Structures are given as C-alpha cells and as structure tokens.
Amino acid sequence: MQLKRLTLTALFATLCVIGGLIKIPSGIGSLALDTVPALISAAFLPPVFSGIAAMLGHTASAMYAGFPLGPLHALIALEMFAIIIVFARLHKAGHSEMKWIFFIVANGLLAPLPFYFLISPAFFLGAVPFLLLATIVNAVVAAVVMPSLQHVAAGRMRLLR
C-alpha cells in the first residue's frame, strides 16, 4: 500500500511539473497550471501526499520561470503544501463546494498576503489579480476533470474485485 501511495504521489508530482510548463500570462512568471493535478490528487491520495505533489509542482514551475521571487518561492511552496492539505481534508470530509471556495480564497487572496510586507504593497496589489485569475483557472480545470477521473477510477476498482 505504501508503494502504491508513493507511486501515485510521484505520478501526480510529475503531472504538476508538466502543468507548471503551461504558463498563465502575467507579470509573475511562475503562474501556471501546476496546481490542477495536486487538486485532483486529493481524490486519490492522503492529504499530506497531495500537499507534497503541490509543493513539488510549484517548485518546478518556479524553476522553469527562473525563480523570479528568489528564495521566497520556498515560502510559496510551503503555502501550497498547507493549502492543498486543507483542500484534501475538505474533499475527504465531503465538503464539495467549501473545498473550492477555500482553495480560491486561500491561494488567490491569503497566500500572497506575506508579500505585502516582504516585498511591497504595490507588488501585492499588482500580483493578486493575476494570482486570483490563475487560481480560478486551476480550480475550474480541476473541478471539471476530477469527477470524471473519480468515476473512471471507481469503475476500474470494481473490475479489479
């Protein structure tokens, strides 16, 4: 069972890396579709493993963009880890709508808040619209794909019994 979990985590982390190559045009070079697989992984993995996939996905996306925020990407990766863990817990608890609301508010509005103080209020105000848009795009794509993947996985599990 542990090997299956690690393999699925590696698969979703790899998909996050690939999603990180699909950039969302913005003033911040690291906005991408790297979170979609991490959100979907909440249906298949324990929350911590989904968080790890998200953290690795962001790191790869930032690396591909040349780490425009330097070492602050470590903070963003940790924020992604925590946000996806809470998202996954909400998913496991059956909070279908609340998980999406939480993700959009936490990732699009709360996660950039430290940068108001660490970089500048102007950076924060300039980044939030792009980050919020990228967050919504990631959430919509994941919300459309997740039910189909869960349905296919459930059917496959029935066949294996």
Residue spans per domain, the chain: 2-160
Least confident of 24-28, 36-40, 111-115, 129-133: 24-28
Of 96 and 60, which is predicted with more confidence?
Answer: 96
Interval 85-119: pLDDT, tens: 999 999 999 999 999 999 999 999 999 999 999 99
24 three-state secondary structure? coil
Whole-angstrom Cα Rg for the chain: 16
23 three-state secondary structure? strand
8-state DSSP, 22: S
- Widest Cα–Cα separation across the chain: 57
- Report which of 108, 106, 102 is spatially closest to residue 89, judged by C-alpha positions: 102
Return all residues near 72 (Cβ < 8 A) that are at least 6 apart. Answer: 115, 118, 119
- Report which of 118, 45, 113 is spatially closest to residue 84, judged by C-alpha positions: 45
Distance separating alpha carbons of residues 24 and 41, to the nearest angstrom: 21
Q: What is the CATH number of domain 2-160?
A: 1.10.1760.20
Q: How confident is the model at residue 143 (pLDDT cuts 50, 70, 90)?
A: very high
